[in-house]
Amino acid sequence: MPAEREDHFLGLEQARLVGTEALLTTRDNIEAVIGAKAMMCAYGASGYGKTFAVNAALRVLAPNIAYRLELRCGPTPRDIRHGLFKALRLPGEPPRRPIEFDELLKGVLSEQFRVLVCDEAQWMGRTAFEYWRHLWDDRQTDIAVVFAGGDNCYKVLRREPMLTSRIFIWQEFTRLPKSEVRQIITAFHPIWATADPGLIDKVDADAAHGSFRNWVSITRHLMDGMKKQHTEQVTEDLVHWVYSKIGGM
């Protein structure tokens, strides 16, 4: 798993972990998936906190047995094999023949229980998902699998009954609820703690649109602007200066 600070987009300093409904639900779901040694799909549009929530939950529930893969666009089974080889830090050189490679991976994945996290799963097609099913179905392996990706991974999985039937939990990530934005954002970063609540609502409506990633970008720009102006207060003028940087209103 990556360092906790790496979870925050742009490495935002002073950002805090906020116990949102989505984060708490993710922890409950992953706990259930680990208990059942099953597969889960966390999906939704970009910037809604899927990777963040999954990483945060696994640091609590499976800190020493979780392995995260990041795959290139359009990954093949070969890419997944090599991704697992790297994530598991296996010694030597990867086997050249697929049969030998699969036997190696299955042997390693049978030695102890592990949670395998496939991030950016929206890039995978049917063949790649089928390869994960092949590993999980094998009687030797002792694994749980968490897919985290955009809507496309949900669509691909739902089109294939054999894959769909093996997903134990589906969790959709959506925008931050408007009714909770003030509370969440003031807890998320200290620069918002003294900001006018109405201004927070306006920033969400104008530019953030319920996306944590958008809020991180806005906050980072605001920190730069506040430093230049030697102020500790978020103002409407500063917010409009940020909009000029990000293309907001």
Per-residue confidence (pLDDT) for residue 10, from 0 to 100: 57
pLDDT of 144 > 70? The answer is yes
Sign, CA dihedral 72-10-206-148, equals positive
- Residue 40 zone, left/alpha/beta (φ > 0; ψ -120 to 50; rest): beta
Full-model pTM: 0.87
pLDDT in tens, 81-104: 999 999 999 999 999 999 999 999
Joined tokens for residue 88 = 């598991």
What is the average per-residue pLDDT within 158-185?
Answer: 91
Domain ranges of the chain: 21-173, 178-246
Share of the chain above pLDDT 90, in %: 71
Query: How far is the C-alpha of 65 from the C-alpha of 143, rounded, in Å?
Result: 10
Q: At what angle do helices 50-61 and 21-36 cross, to 10 degrees?
A: 50
For residues 225 and 242, the answer to whether their CB atoms sit within 8 Å is yes
Q: What is residue 145's three-state secondary structure? A: strand
Cβ count within 10 A of residue 98: 11
Return the exposure string of 46-84: e unless at least 16 CB atoms fall within 10 Å of the residue's CB, then b: ebbbbbbbbbbbbeebbeeebbbbebeeebebebbbbbb
Written as six digits, the tokens of 91 are 């010694």
Give 157's pLDDT tier (boundaries 50, 70, 90).
confident
Q: Which amino acid is at 125?
A: G
Does residue 8 have a pLDDT over 80? no
According to the per-residue pLDDT averaged within each range, which of 135-139, 147-151, 176-180 is highest? 135-139
For the CA atoms of 151, 155, 161, 167, the dihedral, rounded to the nearest 10 degrees, stands at 0
Q: In this predicted structure, what is the pLDDT of residue 5?
A: 62
Domain boundaries 21-173, corresponding CATH code: 3.40.50.300
**By C-alpha distance, which of 162, 200, 205, 168 is closest to 184?**
200
pLDDT at 124: 87
Q: Are 10 and 215 in contact (CB under 8 A)?
A: no
Backbone angles phi, psi at 63, to 5 degrees: -60, -30
